[in-house]
Structure 1
Amino acid sequence: MARGGCWLRNCVDPNDAAPLPPAPAPFHKPQPEGQQNVTTLLDDFPVLTPVTDEDLATAVRAVRTHVPESWPEGELCRSERVPYPCRLARWGRATLAAAGLTEAEVEAEQGGWA
């Protein structure tokens, strides 16, 4: 048996091991002027205007599916389990607003949309 009670041949006693070198700093490439990084681009989905019937139907479905649900961590999206409002809920509401629906109309119609 090797030192320290290890049954492997090449076992190293943790007390004799050299300390690990510090982890390198993460590399951040500077962004050229006028360009956005990926996280900025992926924060929200774009709302295309004019809003088509297909976009409107998808937005209605997103608003009905991605609703808040109470959890011990706070309000989470029922569908994605991320903090509410999730990206699809924000996109759906923004698309409905771009189509001319007010927040009150969205709330009033949420139960009646098929």
Structure 2
Amino acid sequence: MAEQQSAAQKAIGDIAPKLVELTDDVLFGDVWEREELSPRDRSLVTVTTLVALYRTEQLGFHLRTALDNGLTGEELVEAITHMAFYAGWPNAMSAIGQLKSVLADADRPDPSS
């Protein structure tokens, strides 16, 4: 049976195999696996950093990962709301829009209902 491709392999494997290798082996294979922070905590740090830096292209993936790592929609809404005052209102508004889409796509309850 063929090995399933990682998200990085699917996205850029044809053009940047070394970047895929570093992403899969170092970032997700080493850094994300370190025991000093839980995957849940790493997701919270990553999401808030992406919101703060307005890195919207990567945000959807990491919002889904955060949900998979145990953060709730309510917690993500609260983190993004908190970030509005530190990272800027437009950043938070864009992030909330992405979270709303991610929750709808994942068939997860909307925290506002």
Output the TM-score relative to the length of structure 1: 0.34
The structure where helix makes up a greater share of residues is: 2
TM-score by length of 2: 0.34
Higher alpha-carbon Rg: 1
